[in-house]
A and B are shown apart, each in its own frame.
Chain A
Amino acid sequence: MKIIVCIKQVPDIAREVEGTIDLLNIASIINPLDMYAIEEALRIRQKFGGEIIVISMGPIQAKNGIREAISMGADKGILISDTNFNDADTLATARTIAAAIKRIGKFDLILCGKQAIDGETAQVPPQIAELLDIPVVTFVRRIEEINNKYAKVERIIEVGIEEVKVFLPTLLTVVKEINEPRLPTLKGILRAKQTEIPVWGLALLNLSADEVGIKGSATQVIRTATVKQKREGNIFHSATDESIELITSICNNSS
């Protein structure tokens, strides 16, 4: 089985406890939700054999994430990187990644994390599926059965669990519940260091400069603002009657 895992390098916002986030100087990590996609690919390969290709779109530093995935056990990686791709919105991003997947050729399964912790749009995976004309199942918490023809999976939605049968090739987005990602092995780390990671730019994809990056984007960000998280808390140092009354009245005061 040939499995493609899409990962994204994201700023490690969890490290930034105080105040605003300095996006330029913050450490990058693999999007935490993508770790579950990598792990699930490794588990499927354990059963069926095959190949896992990890792809990521981003700056050259995104090679680090691909190397980490290889150190966990992925077979190889491709970085999709070109200054023409800068400032792509979700549509241009999905178009670029879909073009790279077309270049990879035949595959059985694409796995992605549910969403990235920075943009939080959850938009790119279904759009990749659409542009490749394959089915998509989002928020998968368990793969019950998978073979060369179809998969039976459970997806988590607001009110419960849906069991879905989907024909391959398909794209699945996974949630944290699906597994527990393994740590890299020493052998894996050494292998990752030695693995060449090819960089695919615009010239290698069957796309024009107008279809990618900011030019290929349908949306534009016109302004951003920082949200002040701190609140003027009314803090009590014990459970006084007044504090209990206050909480009760807030809960009671339905909108």
Chain B
Amino acid sequence: MVWIFGEFSRDKGARPLRLNPFHPVVSELLTKGRELADKLGEELGIVILGYGIDLTDFCLMVSDFGIDKIYLVDDIRLSDFNVEPYTSVITKIVLKYKPNIFIAGATSLSRTLFPRIAARLRTGLTTDCTALGVENGLLVQTRPAFGGNITATIICPYMKPQMATVRYKALKSPKSKIQSPKSKIQIIRESFTKIELNSRTQVIKFIEDVTQKINLDTADIIVAGGMGLHSRENFKILEELALIVGGAVASSRPPVDNGWISYSHQVGQTGKTVRPRVYIACGISGAMQHLAGMSSSEQIIVINNNPNAPIFKIADIGICGDLFEIVPKLIERWKWK
């Protein structure tokens, strides 16, 4: 069996709540999961943990992906993510049903949960994969390392399940092929005792990041600024461009260190790794540390007044010139569109 972890989205702005409560990576994983399951002649299952889950919506949503089974644990103590009870629940159902492959999105949640599950099961885990396939009956997992300079292809030959997390937008799968809905999706409910759901951590509160209308992790377009912006105030023109193209604002490290923009916007070695469809780098020279976080973006557009800036080497399109002239031109052009 191939299992997908059905992580819920916490990004309230980015989804019609009722129709698809999942993180957007889940539909990509289901498409890939079906492909892998077909190659191996196995069933596809999704694991859902939460509270007050309305299954009619889920069946409707997941039936397009040709799911065979839904494993559901509905408990008030699972309503928010908490790594210890989530680990207990998932390892127990893994040991009971013995999936061959288990895949999640490479989100902050799974990057905490999946290592813990893998360690408890003493199995292998490959995080942040950008490609998955099947060779000789095994899951073949490819992931970047060394700031995107190297890719490693990894297998987990002797232990089960073979576990992987996959970056959002990394799987270049064709548009999710609509599968003929299975006549019957089997729903398997599991319940757990209070002791099994114990935790030594407790989320006291959640403060939503209101500085980002669109998350860096899911943004289609990212507009990023570097020292070439010269000040905190000047980030406003990037915000304006981001707003108009429907993108998110990012930064290289120096503006964050200067306090012009908060750390949650930092892309690079000590910040986030992103791979949007379009990355517009404005006034960023292109230090290796920054490239490590964005060089796998699909299209890279560079605006910089220094023709020798190293970032031009990874540009698909570059304009050598003053960003304070070019960015307003782009905004104007967009308004006029």
> Which A positions have Cβ atoms within 8 angstroms of B?
11, 13-17, 20-21, 32-33, 89-91, 94, 117-127, 129-131, 134-139, 141, 152, 156-167, 170, 175-177, 217-227, 229-239, 243-248, 250-252, 254-255
* 20 pairs from A and B in contact (CB 8 Å cutoff): A13-B147, A13-B149, A32-B270, A120-B147, A126-B119, A130-B87, A131-B119, A165-B204, A219-B125, A224-B150, A224-B152, A226-B149, A229-B291, A239-B319, A244-B326, A244-B330, A245-B333, A252-B337, A254-B277, A255-B277
Docked-complex contact A231 and B313, CB < 8 angstroms = yes
| Beta-carbon contact of A17 and B288 below 8 Å | yes
User: Would you call A13 and B317 a contact (CB within 8 A)?
Assistant: no
A248 x B149 contact (CB < 8 A): no
Given contacts A21-B146, A120-B147, A250-B299, 13 further A-B contacts (CB under 8 A): A13-B288, A119-B145, A127-B115, A135-B83, A164-B202, A167-B200, A218-B159, A219-B155, A230-B314, A231-B315, A233-B302, A233-B313, A233-B318
Q: Are A244 and B329 in contact (CB under 8 A)?
A: yes
The answer to whether B120 touches A14, judged by C-beta atoms less than 8 angstroms apart, is: no
Whether B52 sits at the interface, judged by CB under 8 Å, is no
Q: How far is the CA of A20 from the CA of B204 in the complex (A)?
A: 46
* Cβ B263 vs Cβ A164 within 8 A: no
B145 touching A118, Cβ below 8 Å: yes
Report whether B108 and A157 are in contact in the complex, using a CB–CB cutoff of 8 Å: yes
Expressed in whole angstroms, the Cα–Cα distance for A125 and B218 within the complex equals 25
Describe B's contact surface by its main secondary structure: mixed
Contact status of A247 and B330, CB under 8 A, knowing A163-B203, A224-B151: yes
* Measured CA separation A219–B316 after assembly (Å): 36
In the complex, residue of chain B having the shortest beta-carbon distance to the beta carbon of A235: B318
CB distance from A224 to the nearest CB of B (A): 5
Could you say which of A15, A32, A127, A167 contacts B118, with CB atoms under 8 Å apart?
A127
Measured between C-beta atoms, what is the minimum distance from A10 to chain B in Å?
9
Top 4 nearest A-B pairs (CB, nearest first) are A218-B124, A219-B124, A177-B263, A233-B315
> Which residue of A94, A138, A162 contacts B111 across the interface (Cβ within 8 Å)?
A138
Binds A, one of B69-77, B181-189, B206-214: B206-214
B169 (CB) vs chain A CBs: closest residue:
A255
Chain A residues within an 8 Å CB radius of B313:
229-231, 233
Residue among B201, B300, B302, B330 making CB contact with A164, cutoff 8 Å:
B201
Q: Contact at A120–B315, with CB atoms within 8 Å?
A: no
Indicate whether B154 reaches chain A with its CB closer than 8 angstroms.
yes
Q: A89-B124, A236-B319, A247-B317 are in contact. Are A33 and B270 (CB under 8 A)?
A: yes
The number of residue pairs between A and B whose CB atoms lie closer than 8 Å in the complex comes to 270
Selected contact of B203 from candidates A123, A127, A138, A162, CB within 8 Å:
A162
Nearest CB to that of B277 among chain A residues? A255
Q: Is B116 a contact partner of A127 (Cβ separation < 8 A)?
A: yes
Complex CA gap A236/B8 in Å reads: 43
Most central of B116, B155, B280 by chain A CB within 10 Å:
B116
Are A117 and B269 within 8 A (Cβ)?
Answer: yes
Least distance between B316 CB and chain A CB atoms (Å): 5
Q: Could you tell me the distance in whole angstroms from the C-beta of B229 to the nearest C-beta in chain A?
A: 17
Q: Mark B231-255 against chain A: 1 for CB-CB distance below 8 A, else 0.
A: 0000000000000010100000000
| List of B residues within 8 angstroms of A141 by Cβ | 263
Given contacts A152-B204, A229-B295, A251-B245, contact A236 B320 (CB under 8 A): yes
Question: In the complex, what distance in Å separates the CA atom of A120 from the CA atom of B268?
Answer: 12
Contact A14 B269 (CB under 8 A): yes
Also in contact, A233 and B312, with CB within 8 A (given A13-B146, A121-B128)? yes
Task: Indicate if B126 sits at the interface (CB-CB under 8 A).
Answer: yes
Q: Which residues of A contact B144 (CB under 8 A)?
A: 120, 227
Residues on the B chain within 8 Å of A13, using CB: 146-147, 149, 288, 292
Q: A14-B288, A231-B314 are in contact. Are A91 and B112 (CB under 8 A)?
A: no
A135/B317 in contact, CB under 8 A: no
Q: How far is the CB of B125 from chain A (nearest CB, A)?
A: 6
Closest CB of chain B to A5's CB: distance in Å?
A: 17
Complex Cα gap A117–B287 (Å): 14
Question: Do the beta carbons of A156 and B119 come within 8 Å of each other?
Answer: no
Chain A's closest residue to B208 (CB) is A160
- The CA of A91 and the CA of B119, in the complex, are separated in Å by 6
Beta-carbon contact of A225 and B151 below 8 Å: yes
CA distance in complex: A17, B273 (Å): 18
Report yes or no: B149 in contact with A238, Cβ–Cβ below 8 A. no
Does B20 sit at the interface, judged by CB under 8 A?
no
